[in-house]
Structure 1
Amino acid sequence: MAQRRWHSDRQLTAINRTGLSAPARQAMIDMRIAPGTSVLDYGCGRGGDVRVLEGLDLNVSGWDPVYFPEGRLEPADIVLLTYVLNVIEDPAERQRTLKHAWDLTRTALVVSARLRWERNQIKGVEHSDGILTSRNTFQYLFAAGELRDYVQDITSVRCLSAAPGIVYAFKSEDARLGYMARRVAPGSEWLASQDAASAITAVVDYLERRGRIPSLDEMPGAMAGLLGHLRTSELHRLVHQAASPAKVEAGAKRTTLDTLLVLAVELFHGRGPSSSLPLAVQLDVRAFFSSYAEACQRADRLLLKLRDDSYVRRAMTGSAVGKFTPTALYVHRRALHRMPVVLRLYEHCASIAAGRPAAWTIAKLRHQGRGVSWLDYPDFDTDPHPRLLSSYIVDLGTLKSSFLSYADSTNRPLLHRKHEFLALEDPDASKYRRLTDSEVKAGLYEQPHLIGTEDGWQEALNRCGRVLRGHRLLHIEQQKRQESL
């Protein structure tokens, strides 16, 4: 008699959700999902994401073999395959499921799975290529880079890592490149326009930000209608008269670098013809380069410079933002766009290879070897010496990633000299600098190798007779007098 094939109790892995799952929330932001966009949650479990998306008036449907077998498995613009692949114990079925979800996709497939660093959260024993839990459920844990490669192999298209454990596969190059361009060089919102005068003001703002006048095809439909009565030459004359030449020049320089960044990242991932680029990027190339070939050559040279240790180190030491150490440059996310373009490319290559985490505060770029860490200090703005909650690390040499959590640590690493991670003009930089100056004057930094953790820092405060109240450093006696008042 043939032996009955074992199946895991997959339905037990489905959890009740009150809000959107992380992959669905990420897709809402990145895909610009709006009313009129159809969404299919393939393997929706108990249907939590479906209910939330329905509440947003989206055209959403869900299907699950246990909880919603009556759901519609029909093609949709966006298909979500959320934590489905990792619970399938049969490798062949895993592939079939991914292929079926891809076949139902019109625009983009969002694939998410649990990752290997979560192994200590799962109680079970090794079974086949995964883990068998005591509840008779199965978990296959992917490496972050492995998940992207796996989806690419099955879909036969180039995929992008949106975040650790979340991969996007696009049906068209236009959709993929449009998403990538927004991610590398996010555009600003258009100013509101009620009449021709306000529409011209909005075009002036665009010119000052981007360094060129937009085409009618780039403008919101209503704005293009308000300006349709003007000849192109007349519109250009009015706009250039009102614009600041210095701002236009700065905008052109910024857009030139952003365009090189888009093209360099695209080469890192494979580059297509000029016509495959988003319209705005095509027009940027025409405005700021002699040809697409010249723009690509400059972008190629930029990418090659990432291999030059001395060039990368010089870029870090010459950066207007960030804290330079013997091993790396540390930059706050608010200042990241102020780094030299080669360092921005460095960070973007790592994010595309293995995903940038949703929560992070400071990016660490190594100049000894190639690797990027995204460090999460959730209380950076409120805590004078914020504690490290987690770090996500990508090695660009091996494309391997790792995750470290300090949530349960009783002696976490913490930050000093917060102003050094920010741009000079950051509104909080002066406040942080004043605190640092007072701490240096009080002698708190005399033994820097001892103050990098909570315990060491508290010992230094005790030794110097100081206490912190917000971003103010007080003598303990001064604090006692204030409390007695």
Structure 2
Amino acid sequence: MIENTPVKIKRHRTAIKRASFSLPVKCMLRDGLLDKSKTMFDYGCGHGRDLDLLENMEIECTGWDPSFRPDAAITRAEIVNLSYVLNVIEDINERSQALHKAWSLCDSLLTVAAQIEFAAPDKEQEQFGDGVLTSRQTFQKYYNQHELREYIESELGEDAITAAPGVFYVFKDEQAKQQFIANRFHRRITVPRRRISEVLFEQNQDVLEPLMGCLTQYGRLPAPEECEQTAELVDRFGSLKRAFKLIQKVTDESPWEEIAQKRTEDLLVYLALARFKKRPPLSKLPVTIQHDVKSFLGGYKIACGRADALLFRAGDPDAIDQACQRATVGQLVDNALILHRSSLDYLEPLLRIYEGCARALVGEIDEANVIKLHRFSGKVSYVAYPDFEKLPHPPLRQRIKVSLPTLSIDLFDYSHWQDPPLLFRKDELLHNEHPKAKLFQALAKQEERVGLLPTADSQLSASKWQAKLEQAGLQLRGHRLITKNT
């Protein structure tokens, strides 16, 4: 360890020249937090590549950097990005000052990103302060995910919401924060189709179709401020209820009952996960969520009680195991339920909360398209199989395992493996409504008929799979097995 040594840290060397957006900016764009309606200031912008790319999108943004843009103005903005700055500052007090300065500059959202442990290089580095000294005479502080969140929260006294590994959002407005969290668990539902024709509906289609959109979005009759056509609907039908009666007549009642049930479940999932931090009083929630609570669950106390019961059960391995066995989607193996990420919406609330607990810790992992819910250990794995839909048996690229009991995250990188394991039985991971479910099912049945399909709990490498195909005189053409050389 280097102690009391006059080492000159060369911070400017940590700035990366990148071709695409940094991860924090990708997260903000993905989550709809950054667009043309917002202004952004990048505090410690390095070479400024994010700024160039955002300007190309006509998003108003500026930045300052002590090495590369020292003369630029430090200005306020709706969003401030503090991207990979904290981890290169060796002085603890200066690190804190940078975080507080960035927080003081933002009007609505601060995004903080820092290097985390599994991004650290494998080679051994010299310890320096609470981090390491690199061979390029730069300083790096590698946080673990939980440590970084706790640091941000202890410094600012505000909740840090996980966006991705090493990336956090800190909102200035409580309602905006709660709406963001709720939106994460608000499932997309298509508007029910009309079953029969009705003259009165056709005559009023201009106001009834927007109402159908609102009913699908909320799962209930919208409040006056939630539907632009409210006044016109009341004028034509006397009330929203009467307009809804006509809609039910032409679409049937059952689809709307199903939507209401799904929205109730979404609300319970959100309220359960909101308990991770101090759940806000009802008056601090967005008005739309206040309406949801009253309409679906009768009151806030009742709603919180039901949500707490679900959250408590999410920590019970027996309850998780039983829920996995009840699941109507996914592949059930000895120790887990494995499913495609698109199938999450079809799980019961308990399992969605279980997965949501892991996501609250690790954030969104965009590359991960397969999720493994461990039935007994309190772990959730996020697995990346590139080209899942294109390749009949995509290779394993990356696996991130989140342990809820220990709040730890482990990364397993297979990108450099010469002979990675392949994924089989893709159809079992999908819900039947997935557009490619039948295609994948047909391939699995073909492979099963000729005795090539591995068991669900076994792995087969690319080379071993190819050898089995060669031995059988078969080859794959897309998602079909054919005789070789035909």
TM-score, scaled relative to structure 2: 0.91
Deviations 1:419-453 (A, max 9, x none): 00000222211111111111111111377777522
Deviations 1:151-187 (A, max 9, x none): 1111111111111110111112112101101112156
**For residue 227 of structure 1, what is the aligned residue in structure 2?**
232
Distance 2:120 2:47 in 1: 24
1:96 aligns with 2:97: yes
Distance 1:180 1:417 in 2: 33
What amino acid is aligned across from residue 437 of structure 2 in structure 1? A
**For residue 214 of structure 2, what is the aligned residue in structure 1?**
206
Deviations 1:179-235 (A, max 9, x none): 1011121567999xxx9733321212332454312123223xxx3487377378433
Deviations 1:277-327 (A, max 9, x none): 222221111111121111111111111111222221111111111111111
What amino acid is aligned across from residue 234 of structure 1 in structure 2? S
Query: How far did residue 129 of structure 1 move?
Result: 2.2
What amino acid is aligned across from residue 198 of structure 1 in structure 2? D
Indicate if the aligned counterparts of 2:211 and 2:229 stay in contact, CA closer than 8 A: no
Match of 2:331 among 309, 318, 323: 323
CA 1:297/1:328 → structure 2, altered by over 3 Å: closer, same or farther?
A: same
What amino acid is aligned across from residue 169 of structure 2 in structure 1? Y
State how 1:233-272 maps to structure 2 within 5 Å: 233-243=238-248, 244=251, 245-272=253-280
**For residue 125 of structure 1, what is the aligned residue in structure 2?**
126
Q: After the TM superposition, which of the residue ranges 140-149 and 30-39 deviates more from structure 2?
A: 30-39
Distance 1:205 1:109 in 2: 33
CA 1:455/1:279 → structure 2, altered by over 3 Å: closer, same or farther?
A: same
1:363 aligns with 2:371: yes
| Cα RMSD, aligned residues only | 2.4
Distance 2:123 2:47 in 1: 21
Distance 1:439 1:205 in 2: 43
Q: After the TM superposition, which of the residue ranges 259-268 and 198-207 deviates more from structure 2?
A: 198-207
CA 1:17/1:446 → structure 2, altered by over 3 Å: closer, same or farther?
A: closer
Deviations 1:14-54 (A, max 9, x none): 12234321111211232532334221100001111112222
Deviations 1:346-392 (A, max 9, x none): 11111112223121111111112101111011111011111111011
Q: After the TM superposition, which of the residue ranges 236-245 and 157-166 deviates more from structure 2?
A: 236-245
- Structure 1: state its 5+ residue gaps: none
Indicate if the aligned counterparts of 2:9 and 2:137 stay in contact, CA closer than 8 A: yes
Distance 1:300 1:70 in 2: 52
Query: How far did residue 103 of structure 1 move?
Result: 1.5
- Structure 2: state its 5+ residue gaps: 193-202
**For residue 317 of structure 2, what is the aligned residue in structure 1?**
309
**For residue 114 of structure 1, what is the aligned residue in structure 2?**
115
* Secondary structure in structure 2 of the residue aligned to 1:50: helix
Q: After the TM superposition, which of the residue ranges 464-473 and 209-218 deviates more from structure 2?
A: 209-218
* Secondary structure in structure 1 of the residue aligned to 2:275: helix
What amino acid is aligned across from residue 171 of structure 1 in structure 2? K
**For residue 148 of structure 1, what is the aligned residue in structure 2?**
149
1:344 aligns with 2:352: yes
Query: How far did residue 267 of structure 1 move?
Result: 1.0
CA 1:446/1:165 → structure 2, altered by over 3 Å: closer, same or farther?
A: closer
Indicate if the aligned counterparts of 1:322 and 1:329 stay in contact, CA closer than 8 A: yes
The alignment covers a number of residue pairs equal to: 470
**For residue 25 of structure 1, what is the aligned residue in structure 2?**
26
Indicate if the aligned counterparts of 2:214 and 2:226 stay in contact, CA closer than 8 A: no
CA 1:207/1:70 → structure 2, altered by over 3 Å: closer, same or farther?
A: same
Indicate if the aligned counterparts of 2:237 and 2:243 stay in contact, CA closer than 8 A: no
Indicate if the aligned counterparts of 1:196 and 1:226 stay in contact, CA closer than 8 A: no
CA 1:84/1:200 → structure 2, altered by over 3 Å: closer, same or farther?
A: same
* Secondary structure in structure 2 of the residue aligned to 1:268: coil
* Secondary structure in structure 2 of the residue aligned to 1:230: helix
* Secondary structure in structure 2 of the residue aligned to 1:199: helix
Distance 2:318 2:216 in 1: 35
CA 1:436/1:113 → structure 2, altered by over 3 Å: closer, same or farther?
A: same
TM-score, scaled relative to structure 1: 0.91
Distance 1:419 1:342 in 2: 24
What amino acid is aligned across from residue 349 of structure 2 in structure 1? V
